[in-house]
Amino acid sequence: DLGQAKVGKGAEKEGGAGKKASKAEKAADEELATLGGGVEVAAIKVGKTLKGIVTALTPTHATLRLGKNVRGCIHVLDMPEGAEKLTKGQAVEARVTAVKASSAGKDEEHHVTIVDLSLIEKGGAPATLASIKVGDLVTGIVQEVKGGCVWVELSAALKGRVSALDASASLDVIQALPKNFPGGARVQCRVLSLDVPAGRLDLSMRGVASPAAGSATPGDKKKRKSAAGGVATDD
């Protein structure tokens, strides 16, 4: 399923269903209790601010422990641009943007609920296949380069694919995708095609400005410089 980012696995694995809490998890629970946190599943609502402890970090998201059976996920796109990076063990307050179904457990007591969170005070719901259309410009975070494609996360639950030919107009860039598109890089893409029932999302970065640098993607910028010297562009 190309349209679904698999970032929830870290949240499920950390203190997952049916497993005993580790020392770190118990310490997080104790700190949550001190902060007045430790939310119950029944009290979670979209828009509510929750307190949590950062337990894991990746280039694209942070996992938080919000309570005994509740885990949170803050995507990089739901963090203020330019803000200080989160650290493991840090106490955080964030706004709920979505509540996902509980992961399976041997009984109800061991179900783990995953919650999408945002550190941005005002913002809409996370991007979904149903909320975008062909031609839209979208901002994402590079998850990885795999299978000759750049995989870009648009939210904690949505991932799109950029083929090598749609990543840049430069052959040099295409031949070194991992170097030019490292994990965690913020990029802007145009939606080429999507298939909601099949969960497919294809994107392009050719000729699209980078939101971080305010310039064209690698290779396109080189082409435009060459154009000033009499070489045709290839956007």
Residue 139 class from Cβ within 10 Å (0-12 exposed, 13-18 middle, 19+ buried)?
A: middle
Q: How do residues 80-130 score in pLDDT, each as one tens digit?
A: 877 888 999 899 999 998 888 665 555 455 578 888 899 987 666 667 788
Q: How do residues 192-221 score in pLDDT, each as one tens digit?
A: 999 888 778 999 999 886 654 444 566 555
Q: What is the DSSP letter of 108?
A: G
What is the b/e burial string over 91-121, where b = at least 16 CB atoms within 10 angstroms of the residue's CB? ebebbbbbbbebbeeeeeebbbbbbbbbbbe
Distances (CA, A) of 32 to 38, 65, 146, 148: 6, 9, 38, 43
The token pair at 217 is 């993607």
Q: Mention every residue, 6+ apart, whose C-beta is less than 8 A from residue 24.
A: 55
Q: How do residues 134-173 score in pLDDT, each as one tens digit?
A: 999 999 999 999 999 999 998 877 889 999 999 999 999 9
